[in-house]
Homo-oligomer: A and B are copies of this chain.
Amino acid sequence: MGKNTEREFSSEQQLPTLGVAPYLKLMNQTAAPDTEHNAAHMGLLMLWLSDNILDVVDGDLASYGITESKLDLMLLLLLHEENEGITPSGLASRLGIRRASVTAMLDWLEKRDWIARRQSNADRRMVHVSITEKGRYLVNQVLPVFWATCASLLDGLNTTERDIFKKVLLKLHGNIEKRMGGGR
């Protein structure tokens, strides 16, 4: 599943760590003339940071045998519980993936008895999906860890930094959701 944690290696010929500098040099040689280098530099760091954030979160969830995308789906079920009519189609369009992909995720989650399907009476082509007691139990185990992991991403920032960062973060998040035509 996730990336490796252990060291399989020992004495090997490591590639030296270069840091960001050679990437910036390369950028000078290869960026289009109208690309703002400072922004591209920051964007590169954001991309690297994003990779690392997903690794950290998936690493922390791994011990519960669940991934971010599956937890995502379960949270959707939980948060829309009053809404009786959650269907694979609805989940697919919300998660931005195909119905066939949702079928696969639901198979996996159903096998573990974390979600349940039942056929709709109103329209017998449709399936209603819900979280089970066992699924709810799992989510309650996972969430405290999940929130702690989220909070830990900010470790090392002081209060002032957090305050100014929050404004920027809200803006960035809003912008990119607009760009992706999404939103949770």
A residues within 8 Å of B by Cβ? 3-4, 7-9, 12-20, 22-23, 26-27, 30-32, 35-36, 38-57, 68, 75-76, 78-80, 83, 85-87, 89-94, 96-99, 140, 143-144, 147-157, 161-162, 164-173, 175-177, 179-180, 182-184
List the B side residues contacting A48 at CB < 8 Å: 173, 184
Contact of B147 with A27 in the complex, beta carbons under 8 Å: yes
Q: Nearest chain B CB to A145's CB is how many angstroms away?
A: 8
Q: Top 4 closest A-B pairs, CB basis? A: A43-B150, A50-B50, A39-B151, A30-B143
Q: Nearest chain B CB to A117's CB is how many angstroms away?
A: 15
**Given contacts A3-B96, A42-B162, is CB(A15)–CB(B83) below 8 Å?**
yes
List the B side residues contacting A91 at CB < 8 Å: 15
Contact of B18 with A79 in the complex, beta carbons under 8 Å: yes
At the interface, is chain A mostly helix, strand, loop or mixed? helix
Contact of A162 with B18 in the complex, beta carbons under 8 Å: no
Contact of B151 with A175 in the complex, beta carbons under 8 Å: no
**Given contacts A53-B50, A161-B168, is CB(A15)–CB(B78) below 8 Å?**
no
List the B side residues contacting A183 at CB < 8 Å: 17, 19
